[in-house]
Amino acid sequence: MSQDRRYSFEFFPTKTDAGHEKLLATARQLASHNPDFFSCTYGAGGSTRDRTLNTVLQLESEVKIPSAPHLSCVGDSKDDLRGLLNQYKDAGIKRIVALRGDLPSGMGMASGELRHANDLVSFIREETGSHFHIEVAAYPEMHPQARNFEDDIQHFVRKANAGADSAITQYFFNADSYFYFVDRVRAMGVNIPIVPGIMPITNYSKLARFSDACGAEIPRWIRKQLEAYGDDSQSIQAFGEQVVTEMCERLLQGGAPGLHFYTLNLAEPSLAVWNNLKLPR
């Protein structure tokens, strides 16, 4: 495996002090493996704006790993976004994950001054030049709100052409969907790195609910095996670790430029896959 691949871990900001301390402990454990960066999510309509900001600044200053805040444009004015960008820039943050974001419940279609992720990418470039490395999202199995796969591909191309530096995918469990997506956008002239998002499997019922909501397909054979384990969490985790490890091996062998782990603020599930892969860190 090439040393120039990049590996990263994602967290979500917590609502309690105890949860935040657990997040920092997880981050310190993961930091010992020298990831390229951490990222931290941003709630619907910017609902976790302050917690995202504080978490990212603390990861950067205390855990000493470069950290990337998610930034969404739904529900925020240009002035709001400009203020956040300036705060991140002043704090020495160098990477941002630029997203449209989800509409919070009850917001309807009131979605701020910027309506799409490509608008946000363009705005960040206009405001800050090349200061930030801009990540965007990719959906190998189609965004759940997209009209069709072709529209979704075109939307990704617009984000890339607006000035994105690289992309992180929604998680998936079918490597072919990733390779097909990459081949399609390469044929359309998009050459930015597209890093697979990896979701460890630890709890079938939660994974199924989340996957149905975000449009990530769990292949039938995986669903059926997980269902067969019932409440046997040990077997679910062992099977999940094997499935995800084998998929990651195939992705890396097929040329994926790294891996981005959705940790759910837990270290062990991601590290189990990391250690199986013997990543060169």
- As annotated, the active-site residues are 10
Coil, strand or helix at 86: helix
Separation CA 20–CA 85 (nearest Å): 23
Separation CA 118–CA 221 (nearest Å): 36
Least Cα distance to 69 among 111, 92, 38 occurs for 38
Coil, strand or helix at 140: coil
Q: At a CB cut-off of 8 Å and minimum separation 6, what does 249 contact? A: 277
**Are the CB atoms for 13 and 51 separated by under 8 Å?**
yes
Q: At a CB cut-off of 8 Å and minimum separation 6, what does 72 contact? A: 42, 45, 46, 98, 99, 100, 101, 102, 120
**Are the CB atoms for 7 and 258 separated by under 8 Å?**
yes
Burial tier of 196 (Cβ tally within 10 Å: 0-12, 13-18, 19+)? buried
Least Cα distance to 244 among 198, 184, 211, 203 occurs for 198
Query: For residue 172, how many other CB atoms are within 10 A of its CB?
Result: 25
